[in-house]
Amino acid sequence: MKNLSNNTTKFSPPKAEDAAGRGGLKKLLLITTFSFFLCTLSYSQEYTWHDISANIPQTGETPPDLSDVYFVSDNEGWISSSSHAEIYHTTDGGATFEVQTTQYHCNAIHMLNANEGYAGGASGRVYRTTDGGDNWIAIGSIGVTLADISFPPSGETGYACGLNGNIWSIDSTGVTKMTSNINGSLDAISFPVNSEEGWVCGGSVIRHFFNDVWIADQFKPSGGYYAIFMVDTLNGWAAGGNGIIIHTEDGHNWYTQQTNPAYILTDVFFMNTLEGWVVGSGGGIFHTTNSGTNWNIEGEGLSSSILGGVHFTSPTNGYVVGNDKTLLKYGEVSAIGDEVERMKFEIYPNPAVDEFGVSSSEFGVESCTIELFDLNGKKLLEKHIPARPAGGPAGTETVEIDVSRLKSGVYFCRVSSEKYSVTKKLIIQK
* HEC letters along 82-101: CCCCEEEEECCCCCCCEEEE
Contact call for residues 223 and 206 (beta carbons, < 8 A) = no
413 in the same domain as 304: no
383 in the same domain as 330: no
Does residue 29 form part of some domain?
no
Does residue 12 form part of some domain?
no
**Per-residue pLDDT, 45:** 56
* Burial category of 250 from C-beta neighbours within 10 Å (exposed 0-12, middle 13-18, buried 19 and up): exposed
**Per-residue pLDDT, 412:** 81
Domain boundary among 335, 352, 376: 335
Domain boundary among 302, 335, 368: 335
**Per-residue pLDDT, 390:** 64
Task: Name the nearest CA neighbour of 56 among 268, 249, 319, 384.
Answer: 319
Domain count, the chain: 2
285 in the same domain as 363: no
Q: What is the pLDDT along the chain (430 residues), one digit of tens a residue?
A: 454 443 333 443 333 333 333 333 333 333 333 333 333 333 345 678 888 999 999 988 999 999 999 999 999 999 999 999 999 999 999 999 999 999 999 999 999 999 999 999 999 999 999 999 999 999 999 999 999 999 999 878 999 999 999 999 999 999 999 999 999 999 999 999 999 999 999 999 999 999 999 999 999 999 999 999 999 999 999 999 999 999 999 999 999 999 999 999 999 999 999 999 999 999 999 999 999 999 998 887 788 999 999 999 998 899 999 999 999 999 876 443 444 445 578 888 989 999 999 988 778 777 888 888 876 667 789 998 888 776 555 555 789 999 999 998 888 888 877 666 677 778 898 8
Question: For position 122, which CATH number holds?
Answer: 2.130.10.10
Does residue 17 form part of some domain?
no
**Per-residue pLDDT, 50:** 84
149 in the same domain as 74: yes
176 in the same domain as 302: yes
DSSP for residue 335: G
351 preceded by a cis bond (ω within 30 of 0):
yes
Contact call for residues 82 and 7 (beta carbons, < 8 A) = yes
389 in the same domain as 328: no
Q: Annotate the chain with three-state secondary structure.
A: CCCCCCCCCCCCCCCCCCCCHHHHHHHHHHHHHHHHHHHHHHHHCCEEEEECHHHCCCCCCCCCCEEEEEECCCCCEEEEECCCCEEEEECCCCCCCEEEECCCCEEEEEECCCCCEEEEEHHHEEEEECCCCCCCEEEEECCCCEEEEECCCCCCCEEEEEHHHCEEEEECCEEEECCCCCCCCCCEEECCCCCCCEEEEEECEEEEEECCEEECCCECCCCCEEEEEECCCCCEEEEEHHHCEEEECCCCEEEEEECCCCCCEEEEEECCCCCEEEEEHHHCEEEECCCCCCCEEECCCCCCCCEEEEEEEECCEEEEEECCCEEEEEEEHHHCCHHHHHCCCEEECCCECCEEEEECCCECCECEEEEEECCCCCEEEEEEECCCCCCCCCCCCEEEEECCCCCCEEEEEEEECCCCEEEEEEEECC
- How far apart CA 92 and CA 274 sit, in angstroms, is 28
368 in the same domain as 322: no
220 in the same domain as 161: yes
Question: For position 421, which CATH number holds?
Answer: 2.60.40.3080
**Per-residue pLDDT, 9:** 39
130 in the same domain as 73: yes
Structural domain that includes position 226: 47-335
**Per-residue pLDDT, 301:** 78
**Per-residue pLDDT, 396:** 54
pLDDT, tens digit, 9 for 90 and up, residues 282-310: 999 999 999 999 999 888 778 899 999 99
Domain boundary among 277, 312, 335: 335
